[in-house]
Amino acid sequence: MMHPDVQSLLAVQQDDLEVYALESRLAALAPRLAALENERARAAQELDRARKAIEADETRHREAMLKVDTHRQLVERSQRQYESVTSPREANAAMTQLEQTKRMADDSERDASQILGRIGEMRHHVAELETALADVEHRQADTRAALDTERAEIEAEIAQARAKRDETARAVPKPMLAKYDKVRSRRRAETLFPLRGPSCSACDTAIPTQRRAVMAASGTIEMCEGCGALLYAGE
Ligand SMILES: [Zn+2]
């Protein structure tokens, strides 16, 4: 016949196993949430990179436009020089100078307009990435809401299960409960096992007759030296 204290402790263990099962369900939500977060973060990062690339090209474009200004001023100066020459020899030199500065101005204008074209394409790409991010967020909204609901439900169930456990535990003598809790918090799983014949039913290690006799007579729980589980007599 099983001791009533052991019966009470088995009821506590049943409640604990329910709490653990709920906690496992709660923990299983985390990777699902993380997967959503990763997917969103990838889309957001790609958008961020594209925006930064535009900023870099906008800086390049400003620099290119400064160069264009400088070269245009050179063209004007060369033009004035060419117009003020007084000899054919000077005219030749001034014309060469003017043509050179015009080529430089043309080159820098072409550079600036190439950068501007690239910025236009990149803005288009950014708009696409913004749409993609919005799509991800829209698609995830329902899943996230469902996850939130599920988490709230499980948390409520856990609170209930813990309250039930505390109530059940009041029937168990404090030292016995403390002994059980110490082992349980390490195992986070089934902790209390019956003797099966002369052995631990969790690992089959044989328990000395003397110890089995004490457990049967006084209803105490004893640790199995083979597996660390707590054993009780009387099933
Ligand atoms: Zn054992």
Q: Tens digit of pLDDT for each residue in 47-59?
A: 999 999 999 999 9
The band of 1, judged by pLDDT with boundaries at 50, 70 and 90, is: confident
Rounded to the nearest angstrom, the distance between the alpha carbon of 223 and the centre of ligand 1 is: 8
Q: Is 197 exposed, middle or buried (0-12, 13-18, 19+ CB in 10 A)?
A: exposed
Rounded to the nearest angstrom, the distance between the alpha carbon of 178 and the centre of ligand 1 is: 20
Read out DSSP for 113-139? HHHHHHHHHHHHHHHHHHHHHHHHHHH
Give me the phi and psi of 35, to 5 degrees please.
-65, -40
Rounded to the nearest angstrom, the distance between the alpha carbon of 205 and the centre of ligand 1 is: 6
The band of 2, judged by pLDDT with boundaries at 50, 70 and 90, is: confident
Read out DSSP for 201-216? TTT--B--HHHHHHHH
- pLDDT tens readout for residues 136-186: 999 999 999 999 999 999 999 999 999 999 999 999 999 999 999 999 999
3-state SS, residue 87: coil
Neighbours of ion ligand 1 (CB under 5 A): 200, 202-203, 205, 224, 226-227, 229
Rounded to the nearest angstrom, the distance between the alpha carbon of 97 and the centre of ligand 1 is: 99
Q: What share of the chain has pLDDT > 90, as a percent? A: 97
Rounded to the nearest angstrom, the distance between the alpha carbon of 114 and the centre of ligand 1 is: 77
| Residue of 166, 194, 195 whose CA lies nearest to 181 | 166
